[in-house]
């Protein structure tokens, strides 16, 4: 087969680049190590008739018009404003922290934004420029909520306390001075009507795209020649045979998903319940049937245990890892016609919409229409 573009990985970055090049008339080959497309967005109907995600819940949210228009070409979407509850002191409280959270946990009767701002002001630890995750949380909500909702959850999730992580990790979660209990505040918040896998099937349906599943690029790379560009979406250290991290590993976190069928209609009152305490080892329980209000006599719940070995899901943002990554990044810049795209190849904690945007932007920067030469 003639190949113009070789793509490693059939997740968001790989699928978007494949679709873009295919519609420009290029022949695209995608090599995917796993037995399925869609990367960590992969979902399927399970034995209880419920659409579940194999690698954790994926909630799409964006403020980017371009990304929103693009994803709407491949699926219908239904509005879904994600909410999360956290089990703290035997109570189910909203996260992000809002007026309800503080009232429930401290038995208060705050009823206005002004009062909530005053409460936060009295509790927060002022820092001009938070250097790490701990300072970031203390500066926003103060020590009591830090201890109850963030410290141990973060340790379970990253095997590091917040002070060992960049502020950006915990800055993902805002604090609200009102009753807004949505996890995100983006303009567009939605889920694909028939799931992400179907969306990826459509993205990859162009006849110029060929996908080889169960194929590890590193096993076959010497056999594939003749392509003009390679897009690599796997872990960057693996591409370079771990040469800069033989002693100090570039860290990733993985998740052990433990699925159970529960023989009752619902298990919990919300799609996601976080467990930020030390009483259990898992970080959260997802009950998938809540997404899109799916109907089934039974329910499927998944407990998430974050672990350090297994498939790499999360890069771990801190100084040491950034320095190791930087060495790989410099090497990658020296390579001609090889591009590193996505969460694992850029070693960045991207949200889904950022992954779409980066791939679309990369395509534009490489292939954007050249200005026509003026003939007169």
**Where does this chain bind ligand UDP (CB under 6 A)?**
86, 95, 149-150, 153-154, 157, 169-170, 172-173, 274, 276
CB of 176 to ligand UDP, least distance (A): 14
Distance, CA of 56 to CA of 331 (rounded, Å): 32
CB of 309 to ligand UDP, least distance (A): 18
Distance, CA of 347 to CA of 340 (rounded, Å): 10
Considering the complex, state which of residue 19 and residue 164 has its C-beta at the smaller distance from ligand UDP. 164
CB of 40 to ligand UDP, least distance (A): 11
CB of 150 to ligand UDP, least distance (A): 4
Q: Which two tokens stand for residue 298?
A: 């039974």
Helix 12-23 to helix 196-203 angle (10° resolution) is 30
Q: Which two tokens stand for residue 261?
A: 């069928």
Contact 41, 58 (CB under 8 A): yes
Considering the complex, state which of residue 49 and residue 310 has its C-beta at the smaller distance from ligand UDP. 310
Distance, CA of 339 to CA of 369 (rounded, Å): 19
Contact 289, 300 (CB under 8 A): yes
Q: Which two tokens stand for residue 205?
A: 């349906």
Considering the complex, state which of residue 86 and residue 301 has its C-beta at the smaller distance from ligand UDP. 86
Considering the complex, state which of residue 157 and residue 318 has its C-beta at the smaller distance from ligand UDP. 157
Considering the complex, state which of residue 86 and residue 285 has its C-beta at the smaller distance from ligand UDP. 86
Angle at alpha carbon of residue 68, lines to 62 and 71, rounded to 5°:
120
CB of 86 to ligand UDP, least distance (A): 5
| Helices of type H across 56-215 | 65-71, 99-106, 113-123, 133-141, 143-145, 152-158, 167-171, 196-203
Q: Please name the residue that has the structure tokens 């909203």.
A: 94
Considering the complex, state which of residue 172 and residue 193 has its C-beta at the smaller distance from ligand UDP. 172
Angle at alpha carbon of residue 129, lines to 124 and 130, rounded to 5°:
60
CB of 149 to ligand UDP, least distance (A): 5
Contact 230, 8 (CB under 8 A): yes
Helix 99-106 to helix 113-123 angle (10° resolution) is 60
CB of 20 to ligand UDP, least distance (A): 26
Q: Which residues lie across from 198 on neighbouring strands?
A: none
Considering the complex, state which of residue 195 and residue 276 has its C-beta at the smaller distance from ligand UDP. 276
Under DSSP, is residue 126 helix (H, G, I), strand (E, B) or coil? coil
Considering the complex, state which of residue 59 and residue 345 has its C-beta at the smaller distance from ligand UDP. 59
CB of 75 to ligand UDP, least distance (A): 22
């Amino acid at each position: 087969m003639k190949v113009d573009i070789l793509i490693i990985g059939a997740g968001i970055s790989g699928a978007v680049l494949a679709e873009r090049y295919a519609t420009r008339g290029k022949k695209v080959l995608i090599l995917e190590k796993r037995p399925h497309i869609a990367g960590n967005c992969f979902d399927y109907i399970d034995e209880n008739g419920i659409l579940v995600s194999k690698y954790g819940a994926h909630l799409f949210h964006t403020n980017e018009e371009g990304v929103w228009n693009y994803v709407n070409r491949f699926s219908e979407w239904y509005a879904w404003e994600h909410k999360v509850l956290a089990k703290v002191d035997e109570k189910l409280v909203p996260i992000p922290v809002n007026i309800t959270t503080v009232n429930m946990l401290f038995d208060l009767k705050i009823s206005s934004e002004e009062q909530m701002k005053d409460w936060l002001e009295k509790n927060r630890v002022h820092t001009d420029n938070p250097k790490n995750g701990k300072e970031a949380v203390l500066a926003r909500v103060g020590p009591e909520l830090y201890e109850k909702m963030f410290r141990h959850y973060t340790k379970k999730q990253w095997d590091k306390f917040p002070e060992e992580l960049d502020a950006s990790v915990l800055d993902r979660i805002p604090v609200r001075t009102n009753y807004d209990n949505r996890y995100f505040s983006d303009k567009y918040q939605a889920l694909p009507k028939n799931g992400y896998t179907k969306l990826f099937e459509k993205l990859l349906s162009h006849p110029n795209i060929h996908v080889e599943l169960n194929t590890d690029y590193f096993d076959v790379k010497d056999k594939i020649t003749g392509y003009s560009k390679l897009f690599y979406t796997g872990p960057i250290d693996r591409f370079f045979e771990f040469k800069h991290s033989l002693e100090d590993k570039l860290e990733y976190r993985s998740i052990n998903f433990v699925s159970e069928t529960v023989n009752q209609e619902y298990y919990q009152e919300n799609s996601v319940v976080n467990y930020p305490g030390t009483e259990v080892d898992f970080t959260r329980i997802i009950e998938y049937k809540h997404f899109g209000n799916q109907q089934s006599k039974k329910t499927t719940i998944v407990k998430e245990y974050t672990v350090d070995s297994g498939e790499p899901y999360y890069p771990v943002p801190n100084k040491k890892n950034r320095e190791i990554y930087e060495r790989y990044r410099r090497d990658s810049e020296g390579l001609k016609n090889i591009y590193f795209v996505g969460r694992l190849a850029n070693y960045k904690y991207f949200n889904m919409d950022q992954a779409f945007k980066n791939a679309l932007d990369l395509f534009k920067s490489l292939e954007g229409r050249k200005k026509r030469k003026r003939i007169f």
